[in-house]
Amino acid sequence: MNQNTIIEAKNLSKVYGKNEVAFKALDNINLDIKKGESIAIVGKSGSGKSTLMHLLALLDKPSKGTVIINSKDSLLMSPSEIEKLRNKIFGFVFQQFFLNSTDTALNNVLLPLKIGKVSPKERKKRAQDAINDVELSDKINVKTMNLSGGQKQRVCIARAIVNQPDIIFADEPTGNLDSQTGKNVEDLLFKLNKDQGITLIIVTHDEDIASRCDRQVFIKDGKLINESRK
């Protein structure tokens, strides 16, 4: 294993159901992601790409194999260690945003810090900084239901970076946006990748956004079929 590896998938398999109805969502995946790298996991819907992301982000447990994060085997971690890991070094951007629509942008952004027991004063400051980074300072106290799709996704990105994570997992981050807004969001994600060295893992079926990543891995029927580099 390379010194620069931040996440490594080892013989990763995921099976849903049992016996006759068993369905192999992932089949023996091996993947090595380097620190600061941007990587696209590309595949059609149902290919297993989302399952792979869930396993890499420790939201789900593999049926076989393991995920190694910062040289530590996730199978050996306690639930609270995994929770801490997700809270401190992961950031999540979802296609459906998952914002609390009746709450302000600021309150949505500081949720991970609240969960991570950061003091109210400190978390407000850090949330403001994150919102500045995504250029939404004028909307900081606006309820997110009054924001446009692009603005919502930028709030999500601010929430993903507020805890200064090492890795951002983005699941179809531009799936719900028109192409121009989508491009702005893409620019923002790659800027964070370049400027702050945050590892970017994007799950997508969109070849355009995939082509902007350092590396693309293609998944079909739960198997890695191809890998290409920029």
Which one of 44, 64, 72, 114 is in contact with other proteins (CB under 8 A)? 114
For position 88 contacting other proteins by CB under 8 A, the verdict is: yes
For position 15 contacting other proteins by CB under 8 A, the verdict is: no
Identify the DSSP state of 72.
Answer: E
Measure the CA–CA gap between 41 and 52, rounded to whole angstroms: 9
For position 54 contacting other proteins by CB under 8 A, the verdict is: yes
For position 111 contacting other proteins by CB under 8 A, the verdict is: yes
Q: Judging by beta carbons within 10 Å of its beta carbon (0-12, 13-18, 19+), is residue 142 exposed, middle or buried?
A: middle
59 token code pair:
């939201």
Which one of 2, 18, 79, 180 is in contact with other proteins (CB under 8 A)? 79
Longest dimension (CA), the chain: 56
For position 45 contacting other proteins by CB under 8 A, the verdict is: no
> For other proteins, which stretch binds (CB under 8 A), given 93-101, 147-155, 188-196, 216-224?
93-101
Measure the CA–CA gap between 25 and 116, rounded to whole angstroms: 32
Which one of 84, 135, 137, 164 is in contact with other proteins (CB under 8 A)? 84
Note whether 185 and 97 are within 8 A (CB).
no
List contacts with other proteins (CB under 8 A).
54, 57, 59-60, 79-80, 83-88, 92, 94, 96, 98, 100, 102, 111-112, 114-117
